[in-house]
Structure 1
């Protein structure tokens, strides 16, 4: 499994969500199932709305997990993905309980101090589990 931490220069939560939408579009266009893991129900709704309008000229087929877990891009929380071997875009501060079901995990990190601390802990946790996470500066 490939694990990457995409590190943003900004501290704005909206920037993390925008990058998550860009990455979801890229992975979907590459033919991969996408699970966009939010940190709460409110962020699920925000991501759902953002995917509709962030690129007006492009339709990204997506759905909340509760409405259609088989959608090409699924927005959820801690549910097990309906499709395996996809991409997990993690906006939660904890590790997914379903890591083994993904071929690629992208943690999207910004400069909020509490998120940086949680991300460092996640990086260590991945290493302790035998993975080799990589850092990508955006």
Structure 2
């Protein structure tokens, strides 16, 4: 079995896919959990790409990051045509939100991918760490299972954090 490694500057590590299975069926809980993960990543000086299905979902995540913690700011931005037209196709924000249909989003090079989309981005192999969040919605769980199989076949180290069995 071939294992793929990346150099973080600090240590040599295996590419990792983390799956968080939530108790709640509400999609709002999925976004709230994503905000918590993004805030933690930002505090660790990681760059993050949040991958969504469509513009409205990207805007919803943008709004959630603004509202998440009124006492702290999480700098973030959405991929736009302007970022696609820039010299390096990147935004200047450490947290970037994009969609499946944006070429600029596909060109983001970040430490962490938070995938909220039904489809992994074409460039998912470039990320050192990928996070999938599943609430107790049948279609989301089914999609995340497919992503698990795809990432496992791409030789990612798999980690599952199952909160669905915890007492409420």
Q: Please name the residue that 2:79 is paired with.
A: 65
Task: Flag the structure with larger Rg.
Answer: 2
| 2:166 corresponding residue in structure 1 | none
The SS at the match of 2:25 is coil
Offset at 1:95? 1.6
Give the structure 1 partner of residue 21 of structure 2: 7
The answer as to 2:58 corresponding to 1:44 is: yes
Q: Does 1:133 pair with 2:158? A: yes
Instruction: Give structure 2 stretches of 5+ with no counterpart.
Output: 1-14, 84-90, 164-168
| Alignment partner of 1:75 is 2:101 | no
CA distance in structure 2 between the partners assigned to 1:101 and 1:128 by the alignment: 15
1:24 to 23, 38, 45: 38
* TM-score scaled by length of structure 1: 0.92
RMSD: 1.4
Structure 2 SS opposite 1:63? strand
1:80: Cα distance to partner?
2.1
- Unaligned runs of 5+ residues in structure 1 are none
* TM-score with structure 2 setting the length: 0.76
Q: Offset of 1:65 from its aligned partner?
A: 1.2
Aligned length: 137
Give 1:89's aligned residue. Answer: 114
Given candidates 141, 145, 148, the residue that maps to 1:116 is 141
